[in-house]
């Protein structure tokens, strides 16, 4: 049977993701130093404490942990998250305003699916989280990029974009953003920008999806309020255990209006019905034992050191724009003097180093800036390999620019 001839439009729209998967696979080959994937450093995991929490779960809640759990999440975990968000993010919400998801991305997906129809424009920072773009495209939404700089999304650019789309008869309803230590740029929006962008969102009645995946990994500078805490009604706040416990749990959550949360839960019935009771119970036991806070502290120290090591190694690197020194998160971002897809192939094939070419993070991957952009991740690579990785990358860049 020729299955290729049977694929739906959705399956065709997602096919582009294949190229990125291919590159990530190449990056995992032996001998390659990878600055590509955004994986946590395994040294932040607290295996012994995880084992203890899991043993406790199976002793105290074994039968419930192995069975189906409530669609919106285990009640005690939703209560725990509400309390923790109040303490850490000054977000006030009730447990009923929280949906536990299988990773933050599942929450983003359901938010897009609940609030946009095929053909609708969806607003993104330019550049933005690649998988959120892919989900939007799979759902037949039309990603529209909004110009951003190192202080965050540019409010005038947002306003202009909304007005232009409205004039074209396709006023946008949804804005997706990552205001804290963004993937891929590492950028953090200033407080001023947060307020200004929310004002524009208010004026045009946009629902705002705030991705807080890296938000707790601040290792420098002052705490800033999330958009959710500044505009509780308008913002759909998406967070994840992936960076504060481990991606292997596949657990995240959404905090939003209660009626919306119920609808997102119905959409979740059609992905996995409910998230794992076992990993939910684990997250709860680990969190109650203080595991999340202890792990975040350890992660902050480790990633600060790795960021510094990479910034140091990049001191003489010939890039077009200076590397932003992020206050948190996993990533460095810049532009260079060549097509970064070409650079990537040369880097992998001849120099044994990998990164992610920037174009996949843009609503329009063919734009001039998209094609010369580059994302380096310092989260997973071993610290002592960073200088060698950057040396190899510099060599590949000189060759590519000169070729």
Residues 245-274 that bind a second copy (CB under 8 A): 245-250, 257, 259-260, 262-263, 265-267, 269-274
- Written as one string, the DSSP assignment of 248-266 is GG--EEEE--HHHHHHHHH
Between 114 and 345, name the residue whose CB sits nearer to a second copy: 114
CA dist 262 and 275 (Å) reads 15
Between 145 and 291, name the residue whose CB sits nearer to a second copy: 291
Cβ partners under 8 Å of residue 370, min gap 6:
127, 358, 359, 361, 362, 364
Could you count the other beta carbons within 10 Å of the beta carbon of residue 297? 12
Letters for 220-239 (x = contact with a second copy by CB under 8 A, - = none) are: -------------xx-----
Between 282 and 370, name the residue whose CB sits nearer to a second copy: 282
**Residues 83-142 within binding reach of a second copy (CB under 8 A):** 102-103, 105-106, 109, 113-118, 131, 134-135, 138
Query: Strand 373-377 relative to strand 331-335: parallel, antiparallel, unpaired?
Result: antiparallel
**Residues 20-49 within binding reach of a second copy (CB under 8 A):** 21, 37, 39-40, 42, 45, 47
**Residues 347-386 within binding reach of a second copy (CB under 8 A):** none
CA dist 122 and 133 (Å) reads 9
Beta bridge partners of 352: none
**Smallest distance, Å, CB 234 to a second copy?**
6
What token pair was written down for 160? 């202009």
**Smallest distance, Å, CB 403 to a second copy?**
32
Residue selected from 62, 221, 290, 322 as contacting a second copy according to rule CB under 8 A: 62
Cβ partners under 8 Å of residue 227, min gap 6:
177, 179, 194, 197, 198, 208, 210, 235, 237
**Residues 199-218 within binding reach of a second copy (CB under 8 A):** 205, 207
71 contacts 269 by C-beta, under 8 angstroms: yes
**Smallest distance, Å, CB 40 to a second copy?**
6
Residue selected from 26, 71, 319, 399 as contacting a second copy according to rule CB under 8 A: 71
**Residues 172-201 within binding reach of a second copy (CB under 8 A):** 173
**Smallest distance, Å, CB 13 to a second copy?**
10
By the 10 Å C-beta count (0-12 exposed, 13-18 middle, 19+ buried), 135 is classed as buried
Residue selected from 66, 86, 163, 191 as contacting a second copy according to rule CB under 8 A: 66
Between 134 and 400, name the residue whose CB sits nearer to a second copy: 134
**Residues 152-171 within binding reach of a second copy (CB under 8 A):** none
What token pair was written down for 363? 């609503």
If one asks whether residue 275 binds a second copy (CB under 8 A), the answer comes out as yes
Shortest CA distance to 219 belongs to which of 77, 143, 328? 328
Between 198 and 260, name the residue whose CB sits nearer to a second copy: 260
Residue with tokens 């629902």: 207
């Amino acid at each position: 049977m020729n299955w290729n001839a049977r694929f739906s439009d959705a399956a065709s729209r997602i096919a582009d993701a294949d190229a990125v998967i291919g590159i990530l696979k190449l990056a995992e080959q032996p001998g390659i130093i990878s600055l590509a994937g955004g994986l946590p450093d395994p040294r932040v995991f607290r295996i012994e404490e995880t084992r203890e929490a899991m043993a406790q779960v199976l002793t105290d809640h074994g039968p419930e942990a192995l069975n189906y759990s409530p669609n919106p999440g285990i009640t005690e975990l939703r209560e725990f998250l509400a309390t923790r968000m109040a303490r850490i993010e000054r977000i006030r919400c009730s447990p009923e305003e929280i949906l536990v998801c299988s990773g933050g991305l599942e929450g983003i997906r359901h938010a897009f699916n609940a609030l946009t129809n095929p053909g609708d424009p969806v607003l993104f920072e330019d550049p933005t989280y690649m998988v959120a773009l892919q989900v939007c495209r799979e759902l037949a939404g039309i990603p529209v990029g909004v110009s951003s700089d190192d202080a965050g999304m540019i409010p005038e650019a947002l306003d202009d974009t909304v007005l232009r789309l409205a004039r074209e008869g396709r006023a946008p309803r949804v804005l997706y953003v990552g205001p804290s230590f963004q993937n891929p740029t590492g950028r953090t929006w200033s407080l001023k920008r947060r307020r200004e962008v929310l004002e524009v969102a208010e004026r045009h009645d946009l629902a705002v999806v705030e991705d807080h995946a890296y938000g707790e990994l601040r290792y420098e500078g002052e705490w800033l309020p999330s958009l959710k805490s500044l505009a509780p009604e308008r913002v759909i706040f998406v967070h994840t255990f992936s960076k504060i416990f481990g991606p292997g749990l596949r657990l995240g959550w959404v905090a939003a209006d209660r009626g919306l949360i119920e609808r997102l839960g119905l959409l979740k019935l059609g992905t996995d019905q409910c998230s794992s009771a076992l990993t939910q119970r684990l997250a709860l036991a680990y969190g109650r034992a203080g595991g999340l806070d202890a792990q975040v502290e350890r992660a902050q120290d480790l990633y600060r050191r790795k960021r510094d090591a990479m910034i140091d190694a990049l001191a003489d690197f010939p890039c077009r724009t200076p590397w932003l020194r992020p206050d948190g998160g996993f990533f460095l971002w810049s532009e260079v003097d060549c097509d970064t897809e070409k650079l990537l192939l040369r880097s992998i094939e001849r120099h044994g180093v990998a990164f992610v070419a920037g174009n996949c993070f843009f609503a329009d991957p063919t734009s001039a800036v998209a094609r010369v952009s580059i994302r380096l991740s310092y989260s997973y690579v071993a610290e002592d390999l960073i200088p060698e990785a950057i040396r190899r990358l510099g060599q590949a860049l000189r060759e590519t620019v000169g070729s």
